Chains A and B, each alone.
Chain A
């Protein structure tokens, strides 16, 4: 309806809101259906599920997303019957509804501008739904244009049940209702579907054209509805209009019209809903993330300035001012924590995506899976949340595809027919821990070992402990899938998962028992905005070494530094590891001299260890990660920057990059024919 009446610049933002709401509605639809599947036949849950689909349909019709409207209409019809108790919440029905919810999610994506969905899937879901819909309920399409032609009301819908009752309806939209692009006409059409509707328009407040302010609301309606539907059905019609109108729905004792309708009170912008039995779901406001991020940056600045202040004036502060300053600083820290909490979001949406993924995988593999997810209410920073889906998707695909045996095999082995996959989340020591476990075949160490040898990843004579063998699966170029399948696809292996997790500052570990299953354990920071690190100093400035990659700091004794060719090495835990100077490894100096009396032993993602010589080691501290503004070319050795207490910029070392550079340098040293000077390319233009 809006497409014709609103200019694109108005329509755009409204659509954005619609799709945001769709995401939330799909999430509550999913959790509702899951709850029903678990056996909760709670009317509130059924109502929630119904309202979710109903709301999506309403929005879709407004924006004329035909396929989405059609589909959600059929979906709603089934849910309506479920709500009215006309059909039972059988296991089969819930399976179909879950599949319909998946299809609905995909249609929402399609409407959002994603790829056009495969018709077959929606058709199949529609067909399944149609099996539950009574024949006389035809699909009503959104009508193009704003014409007021009556929607063919499926009369039988309301003649079939309950007592015929009359309701007095008074409705006065506030201006905000129109601003949110709700159209009273649509609401009236919905009402009309419920029964016999008589409405009168009160345009008493409508001023002369000259005085008319176009963005104000002047109209109100009163009238009666005779319907067989329960009261809730009438309230549901106004669900969208919720807080944006004055609304009265009261049973009429006398059916006769009560003379001229009384004037309605002015609808305030934060309109009064006289309906109190409808609990407000959550007290939530929608805030643009940019605003939160901006505030977060400001608080960071404030903290930096405070530390600078302390640095400069600290010792000179009068004793009575010092506690005031400390309090001031503590409050700022609390604001920062509060803002981080605002940016935090529960894991639940990601978990729901995983549940959907498992359902798809069940269909694709023909395996039956019992998926359980717990701890979805745990919260992580948005920066982490956004990047969690990828490693989890890989892990769950692997678990279904390679972990679980086929149903036949499981029966032969005496295992339950359905495989179990569990996703668990919990917080521990200021980190979020995610566990993905299956009760499948487990990891066959002998096969891992033979694969690793055949891929040339390890020496056949090398003796590896059990856990060392397990960790081989995280190596690049390792994939145990004997034939690359549709599901796990393109030979994507555990090394990708490892890389994702490492990029988040996390660690992954695995435990497995042959024949009994596998558990992957991911431990991740709660936020990427803060990082634990130690500050180290060298002749070229101060740098941050992330605690996650730090193994140890040790005193360097000249007599313990040995050479292998040109490369300096020291002995660390029984092995010789390279020792590099910080300036040399970062390319600040052309010589490979090592300055400094302290060795920082670090480890990269693949377990390669290296010692970096520095002059000073300062305290461990929590630092605020600052991206370096403007783009710079891939910079081996530095991942980001921070601002220290004295206001100076310090670079955060990227241990993977440093190890990489060390390897390159070593290769270059062997190959003295090649030019050894750093080739620094000019920035490319565009």
Chain B
């Protein structure tokens, strides 16, 4: 389950008190959350669409995407505009913390203990100055490619 994760810079953000990160190369920009236009018949974690300077951008609510329990709703949620291949998506998170530099030694594989549904999105664990940060796999956060037959 652990693909090759290499050292580098990662953007750290918080969802319901837990820390997560993404490789900085996958992040295009960060903006504050705005009202979305909901798309009918879509999964709950898919909040809707926004206009990102002329691009119709889908917004994924990361709390429900990761299956986390809402402890307290975020006061000022933030959207991380991220890229995966040629797809671009907005990830709505509670707050963006900082950017960290991580060495190979600080990246661990996911523990083999059962961690619930979340492990399917996690590529590895970053253990740095006593913080535990889950490194997310952007491609697994996106919905599956639309069937070619459609």
Contacts and interface: CB of A to CB of B under 8 A. Distances in A.
A421 to B, nearest CB: 31
A540 B35 CA distance: 13
Contacts of A298: 54
B56 A631 contact: no
Contacts of A165: none
B32 interface: no
B129 to A, nearest CB: 32
A686 interface: yes
Q: Which of A588, A628, A636, A684 has the most CB of B within 10 A?
A: A628
A297 B54 CA distance: 8
A372 to B, nearest CB: 36
Nearest to B46: A632
B58 A628 contact: yes
A634 B40 CA distance: 11
B39 A631 contact: no
A614 B37 CA distance: 17
Given A631-B146, A634-B150, A586 B56 contact: no
A300 interface: yes
A608 interface: no
Contacts of B146: 631-634
A541 B40 CA distance: 12
B41 interface: yes
B143 A635 contact: no
Interface string A647-668: 1111100000000000000000
A649 B50 contact: yes
Contacts of A681: 43
Nearest to A625: B56
Interface in B45-86: 45-46, 49-51, 53-58
A630 B51 contact: no
Contacts of A631: 87, 142-146
A567 interface: no
B79 to A, nearest CB: 13
A628 B41 contact: no
Interface SS of chain B? loop
Contacts of A540: 38
B140 interface: yes
Interface string B130-150: 000000000010111111001
Given A629-B89, A633-B146, A649-B50, A685 B120 contact: yes
B42 interface: yes
B56 A683 contact: no
B58 A632 contact: yes
B24 interface: no
A379 B54 CA distance: 27
A628 B39 contact: yes
A642 B51 CA distance: 9
A129 interface: no
A298 B53 CA distance: 9
B40 A588 contact: yes
A629 B56 contact: yes
Nearest to A636: B41
Nearest to B149: A634
B105 interface: no
Contact of A632 (B42, B50, B55, B140): B42
A680 B51 CA distance: 25
A660 to B, nearest CB: 11
A588 B48 CA distance: 12
B128 to A, nearest CB: 28
Nearest to A684: B144
B75 to A, nearest CB: 24
A376 interface: no
B143 A633 contact: yes
Contacts of A641: 37, 49, 56
22 contacts: A304-B51, A541-B37, A627-B56, A628-B39, A629-B58, A629-B87, A631-B145, A632-B46, A633-B42, A633-B43, A633-B146, A634-B146, A634-B147, A635-B39, A636-B41, A643-B54, A648-B37, A649-B51, A651-B37, A651-B49, A683-B144, A684-B144
Interface of A: 297-298, 300-301, 304, 540-541, 586-588, 626-638, 641-643, 647-651, 678, 680-686
Given A649-B49, A683-B43, 14 more contacts: A301-B53, A304-B54, A588-B38, A630-B88, A631-B143, A632-B39, A632-B143, A633-B41, A633-B144, A638-B39, A651-B40, A680-B44, A681-B43, A685-B144
| Smallest CB-CB A-B distances: 5 pairs | A301-B54, A586-B40, A683-B143, A641-B56, A649-B37
